[in-house]
Every structure is written in structure tokens, then in C-alpha cells.
């Protein structure tokens, strides 16, 4: 049985997705999805690409690290879309139209020398 994979990123969160067509089950870092994400509202975003492509019976294993829970959710979403693309090239039009294949490139701006944060500086006084 072939295993399909994809890698999704958002900020500093990196998600590696592996799936095979067997039975419908999702494990995130060897935990059930309900145990890893405590709110249902959070992880409904993950299933966007699966619903759009009408994919069924996917045994998905996810390894995610870095970032916060929200960044991890969007990294998983991006990774699942890329893994589905490696499974079937016909899904490219559907996934790209819904912007599931694009990586969100926004990251935190670095701190500059002489400033408190990246742009915040000490109060300036003219007199």
C-alpha cells in the first residue's frame, strides 16, 4: 500500500503529513485529534481540503512541531492539501482556487539594534 506525504508550514510551525487509503482515522503526534485540539471550532479548518476533494477512508498521520496551536492548524491544512496533490494531480485546480496550496509567508519581523522591539522605540523629546 502506497503512502503519500506532504509538508505544510506557517510561521515557525512545521507539519509533516503521511496518509494511506485504508480506514478513516487521524492521529496528531500519536494522539487522537480531539485530545490534541481541545475545541472543535479550531480543527474544522483542517478538513477543508478533504471535504473539497470528497476524499474518503484516509488514514492520516501528522507530526507537527513549533509555533502555537493556531499556526499548527494552518500548517496541517497546508500539508494535507499538498499530500492530496501528490495522491491525485487532478485536485490541483480545486485546491489552488481555494488557496489551500499557498504558504502564508508572513513571519515575525526581527528586532533592530537600538530599538525596544522591531519598530517600537524610546519616546522622543524635542526640548
- Determine the pLDDT at residue 102: 93
| Cell numbers that stand for 84 in this block | 492530496
Question: 0.85 cut: is pTM over it?
Answer: yes
5 phi and psi angles, rounded to 5 deg:
-140, 160
Q: Does the domain made of 4-97 have the CATH classification 3.40.50.150? A: no
User: pLDDT per residue over 59-103, tens digit each?
Assistant: 999 999 999 999 999 999 999 999 999 999 999 999 999 999 999
| Cell numbers that stand for 54 in this block | 470528497
30 phi and psi angles, rounded to 5 deg:
60, 25
| Cell numbers that stand for 31 in this block | 494522539
- Determine the pLDDT at residue 41: 64
Amino acid at each position: 500500500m502506497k503512502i503519500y506525504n506532504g509538508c505544510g508550514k506557517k510561521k515557525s510551525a512545521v507539519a509533516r503529513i503521511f496518509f494511506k487509503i485504508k480506514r478513516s482515522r487521524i492521529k496528531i503526534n500519536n494522539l487522537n485529534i480531539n485530545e490534541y485540539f481541545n475545541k472543535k471550532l479550531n480543527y474544522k479548518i483542517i478538513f477543508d481540503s478533504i471535504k473539497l476533494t470528497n476524499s474518503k477512508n484516509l488514514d492520516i498521520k501528522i507530526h507537527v512541531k513549533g509555533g502555537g496551536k493556531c499556526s499548527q492548524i494552518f500548517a496541517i491544512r497546508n500539508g494535507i492539501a499538498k499530500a492530496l496533490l501528490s495522491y491525485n494531480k487532478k485536485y490541483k485546480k480545486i485546491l489552488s482556487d481555494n488557496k489551500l496550496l499557498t504558504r502564508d509567508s508572513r513571519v515575525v519581523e526581527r528586532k533592530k539594534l537600538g530599538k525596544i522591539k522591531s519598530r517600537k522605540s524610546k519616546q522622543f523629546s524635542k526640548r
